[in-house]
Structure 1
């Protein structure tokens, strides 16, 4: 007799590895789990890194990425998908073409393009492919100020710059944009969410004096995807995702993990796995 009457809201993360546990798929799985969702994953790359930086990156073959996605999607179909760093146009095509074969589910895309050092991580032709193919399928993209500067082709240093850049990025074909103001030189950090209707929503948080922010972008995009899976509206998911990251930074600010930029405290308030009726 089948006694299974419930299911968990699931979130699929498509991202790279972080052996130090603070970013990438590790941060995604921690975030999704801490918020009461069930995490599945597909690995796109194997960076060798710790809290002090990336030593090397070993790519995963594209057919292997496709095989991972098909195997998961055929068995545990997600309520939301988070996509992290995609470092080549071929990888973008692999992901987009594979997901196109399945019913549409909300996608949160974190367009990782710039390293903490300021160095670009991907080539211009890859950025073009991302804009043309990934942007249209994403419910929301979450660039930081450095990435916004690349996408908008302008300096982004102030809150006024964020407003101008956001309007430019919206015209690139994405459904909505969350511009993260974490690098603003101000005591209060402001992020801007440009929704699908053209309304701009402003979110502000007090700046935390800590370098324990490794993986904050991965964590935010995963948190937004998790809140979508938990049946929040996109605007509420964006709001709650930012609040979660703020609290995770705050609760991890006094802890040393490694010798460089430490991780967030993803489990400052872990939730039990949510159960939905099985239909």
Structure 2
């Protein structure tokens, strides 16, 4: 498979040209998802990462044992700190734990107006249970989705955003979805673009995502990688896309490059031996390959 293009670093005497991407998300103490995965993906794809933490989690490769939300006031303080000093071109948004935090993030994005916003709507647990209350989902749809250049829902999240499910999403429902209808429903809720991730169509030999714009739907496929190390795939993809947007790639190219990067990170994931459960993808596979060549 092709290695994604990585932008050349900016000259040291011109730091304003450094492609900076902000990740707004929760912290994963196990290091495989959330803020930690975002920072790794942004760094590995040639960007500089800064962060605003919305929640602390106690988790590892076996699961999440606790969540400690950060107050909306301190989220706001973090946002002011990074935006007032750093030239942030792209923002990736992940886990937002409640309506108050969503409102603060939306308010600050309207104030500072970064060029690109990629929203990964972390809304559904692996069990199928919703992670956000109804008021938070409504706030997300009304306040943040209109600001995003791209939203990147997986199938359960897409079903939730379009109002096709209740508090629990049965995996059997996902297998019989009307794909075309879902795409049209997603097109109707977003002013800009949607990347519908097809990873939950596990019976397919290929992992196919759908880039949905106002006038077109483009399929982006890669051969499905069989590995247990899939923790943080959604975070990694959306962060990589935001990183490529910050570097000047078009939306379509950024999505393609992000998909290629994630696929390679999955292909190399079994080179890592992390934890007893679902380990992370290999964010720095390119450095690993260079080390082996040396």
Q: TM-score, normalised by structure 2?
A: 0.87
Distance in 1 of aligned mates of 2:14 and 2:207: 44
Alignment correspondent of 1:114 = 124
Distance in 1 of aligned mates of 2:48 and 2:28: 20
Does the 8 A contact of 1:84 with 1:112 survive in 2?
Answer: yes
Alignment correspondent of 2:19 = 9
> Cα RMSD over matched residues?
1.6
Unaligned runs of 5+ in 1: 272-279
Does the 8 A contact of 1:35 with 1:270 survive in 2?
Answer: no
Q: How does 1:1-279 map to 2 (within 5 A)?
A: 4-6=13-15, 7-154=17-164, 155-157=173-175, 161-184=178-201, 185-195=203-213, 197-270=214-287
After TM superposition, give the deviation of residue 270 of structure 1 in Å.
Answer: 4.8
After TM superposition, give the deviation of residue 165 of structure 1 in Å.
Answer: 1.1
Does the 8 A contact of 1:141 with 1:176 survive in 2?
Answer: yes
Does the 8 A contact of 1:11 with 1:32 survive in 2?
Answer: yes
Distance in 1 of aligned mates of 2:62 and 2:86: 35
Distance in 2 of aligned mates of 1:105 and 1:5: 20
Distance in 1 of aligned mates of 2:84 and 2:287: 29
Distance in 2 of aligned mates of 1:157 and 1:177: 20
Does the 8 A contact of 2:162 with 2:189 survive in 1?
Answer: no
Q: 1:95-126 deviations in whole A, cap 9, x for unaligned?
A: 01112111342100000111112221111221
User: After alignment, is 36-45 or 144-153 more displaced?
Assistant: 144-153
Distance in 2 of aligned mates of 1:10 and 1:256: 30
Aligned residues: 267
Q: Which has the higher helix share?
A: 2
After TM superposition, give the deviation of residue 48 of structure 1 in Å.
Answer: 0.7
Distance in 2 of aligned mates of 1:76 and 1:37: 13
After TM superposition, give the deviation of residue 157 of structure 1 in Å.
Answer: 2.6
Q: TM-score, normalised by structure 1?
A: 0.91
Q: 1:247-277 deviations in whole A, cap 9, x for unaligned?
A: 1011113532101110000001259xxxxxx
- Give the structure, 1 or 2, with the largest relative contact order (CA under 8 Å, sep 6 or more): 1
Unaligned runs of 5+ in 2: 1-11, 165-172, 289-294
Distance in 1 of aligned mates of 2:147 and 2:181: 23
